[in-house]
A and B are shown apart, each in its own frame.
Chain A
C-alpha cells in the first residue's frame, strides 16, 4: 500500500465551478500537509501548507485536514482556466522526509 493515495484524474470542470481534490494516507504520524500546483513542463510550486488538523484558507483556495479519517482536501472556488494544472499533495511526519501523491490533473474549461 502506498503511503499517500491520490486520484490521478483527469478532472474536467467548467469555469466558475468549485473543485475538490483529495488525498488519503496511511501513516498516522504525518503532521505537515502541503498542496503543490504543477503547470505543464514546470516544477511544483507550493500552494498551501497546513500543520496538523483543521482548515486553512488563502483566497480562492481552502485546504482541509482530517487526521481522524487520514484524509486531506483542497477546494478551489470560482475556478479559472489558469487553475488548469496538476495538483500534488504531500505530507511529512517530520525530519524533512516527504511523501507525495501521484498528482491529479485538473482542466478548467472556459
Chain B
C-alpha cells in the first residue's frame, strides 16, 4: 500500500515552459487535492476534485489546470510557468464521511519546482 505518490520529486523549468505533475493514490479515496506550500504561507489549496471527472478551484487556481480522468490519479498542469510558481507542491487525498478517518487528508511526499 503506497498511499499517495507524486511524480516527479524535483523539477527545474524556465519561464514559459509547461509541465504536468502527477499524483496517484491507492486508497480508493474519492477526494483529491493539490496544494502549494511556501515559506510563511502555509498550505494553500490550488484545485481539488470530489470524484472522477470533476474538478473545482481552490484558493489560488490561477496559472494551473487539473484533470481527474481516473479515480486514482489527479494531474496538475502548468501551461506557462512563471517564477512566482516556484514552490513545493503537495497532493492529498481523503475519503468521504462515514469512514474510520473521515474528514482527514493523506499527503504525498511533494514535488519541488523551481522556475527560473
B-contacting residues of A (Cβ < 8 Å)? 6, 8, 31-32, 34, 36, 41-46, 49, 51, 88, 90, 92, 94, 96, 98, 100-103
**Which DSSP category, helix, strand, loop or mixed, fits chain B's interface?**
loop
Given contacts A42-B109, A43-B90, A96-B96, contact A34 B43 (CB under 8 A): no
CB-CB under 8 A from A102, the residues of chain B are 40-42
Chain B positions 60 through 85: 1 when the CB is less than 8 Å from some CB of chain A, otherwise 0: 00000000000000000000000000
Closest A residue to B30 by beta carbon equals A96
CB-CB under 8 A from B102, the residues of chain A are 32
In the bound complex, how far is the Cα of B4 from the Cα of A34, in angstroms?
18
CB-CB under 8 A from B109, the residues of chain A are 42-43
Q: How far is the CB of A41 from chain B (nearest CB, A)?
A: 8
CB-CB under 8 A from B31, the residues of chain A are 96
Contact of A46 among B50, B106, B108, B112 (CB under 8 A): B106
CB-CB under 8 A from B110, the residues of chain A are 41-43
CB-CB under 8 A from B107, the residues of chain A are 36, 43-45
Chain B positions 86 through 97: 1 when the CB is less than 8 Å from some CB of chain A, otherwise 0: 000010001011
Contact of B103 among A8, A44, A96, A103 (CB under 8 A): A96
CB-CB under 8 A from A94, the residues of chain B are 97, 103
Q: How far is the CB of A25 from chain B (nearest CB, A)?
A: 13
